Amino acid sequence: MRGTGHDLEGIVDAALELLDAFGLPDLSMRRLATHLGVQPSALYWHVENKQSLLAAVADRIVSEAAPATGVRETARALRDALLNRRDGAEVVVSTAALSLGSDALEARIRSAYEAAGSADPARDATVLAQFVLGHTYLVQQRMQAAAIGAYDADPADVAAATRADFEAGIDRLTTP
């Protein structure tokens, strides 16, 4: 465990444990406090509200992406990091939509575009970041639907089955 549970790092660690175990709908401040063995009010010394907590969780999810060189490799590493956490894409999308947390995901892509000599790395990064987030969110939704029998696929196969679509998307978005 990174943190002690009594600091922001520990709170984020515990939130990720709950996210992986129960999913975003069941990640509440009350459940998190119970998991940490503290009163809910103790959490507010470290995070202003649930949205601030989710922003910190989103930042951590993005930070878990493997180091990569090149635009395509960066996109793949970010996709893998999002898929590595239950509801990871939803957490990152929801915080990005509200401009909460850092812009680390887009910044990593922008840096890769800058290194590649893009004429407009900011715009290119925005477009590719939206593709990575949207695609990964769709994959995770299908995985959840498959898990409850609402989508005709084995949940374990959904990410692999959509990998070719992802590769085609990043090829189209990164080829001049």
Give the C-alpha distances (Å, rounded to integers) separating 143 from 41, 62, 123, 154, 156.
Answer: 35, 20, 30, 8, 7
Condensed to tens digits (0 to 9), the pLDDT of residues 102-134 reads 899 999 999 999 999 999 999 999 999 999 999
> What is the pTM for the complete model shown?
0.91
Q: What is the pLDDT of residues 61-70, one digit of tens each?
A: 999 999 999 9
144, 124 in Cβ contact below 8 A? no
Contacts of 8 (CB under 8 A, 6+ apart): 46, 47, 56
- Total residue count of the chain as it appears in this document: 176
